[in-house]
Amino acid sequence: VPPETALKLLSTCSNVYETDLRRNKIIKELSLEYFKATKNEPMIEKFTSAMLLHHWAKRLVPYGISYKDVLASGHDQRRVISKQIMMLKKDDTLDTLKDFCRDFGFVFTDCCLQYLEILLTTWKPQFQ
């Protein structure tokens, strides 16, 4: 298949299945493999980022964070998402935050300080 035809087909399929998250992910996976095979670095980066969003969308479902919200998120929205992760105070919060910060370019120590602030300001000790 000529590159122009393949690009047009991938673009069309992506638009058609934009609201079907499962199929959209599969199309992005196929697109990524195609661009790896053709050594198209800018497109590899674009689709690697898209796949990273799908990974995080799936990982954050147990936190009550919408799959669609993660996929549509920009830098500022990802900050809000990191705060949502912190507010739930799950057992794996620090590990999740560490991975989230690494993958999206946030400074982990800044996130830890923010998490500590949340823990301290929401702490409700029970005295006997």
List pLDDT tens digits, range 72-83.
899 999 999 999
Residues 69 and 123 in one domain: yes
**What's the predicted TM-score (pTM) here?**
0.80
55 and 82: one domain? no
Task: For residue 122, give Cα distances in angstroms to 76, 87, 94, 112.
Answer: 23, 9, 17, 15
CA distance linking residue 116 with residue 30, whole number of Å: 41
Is pLDDT of 127 > 80? yes
**Has residue 70 got a pLDDT over 80?**
yes
pLDDT of residue 7: 79
CB contact at 8 A, 22 and 71: no
Of 43, 59, 75, the last residue of a domain is 59
Same domain for 79 and 127, yes or no, is: yes
Domain boundary (14, 32, 59) is at 59
CA distance 104 to 89: 20
Which residue range forms the structural domain that includes residue 89?
A: 65-128
- 8-46 pLDDT, tens digit per residue, is 887 788 777 777 788 888 888 988 898 899 898 988 998
75 and 124 assigned to the same domain? yes
- Which amino acid is residue 118, in one-letter code? I
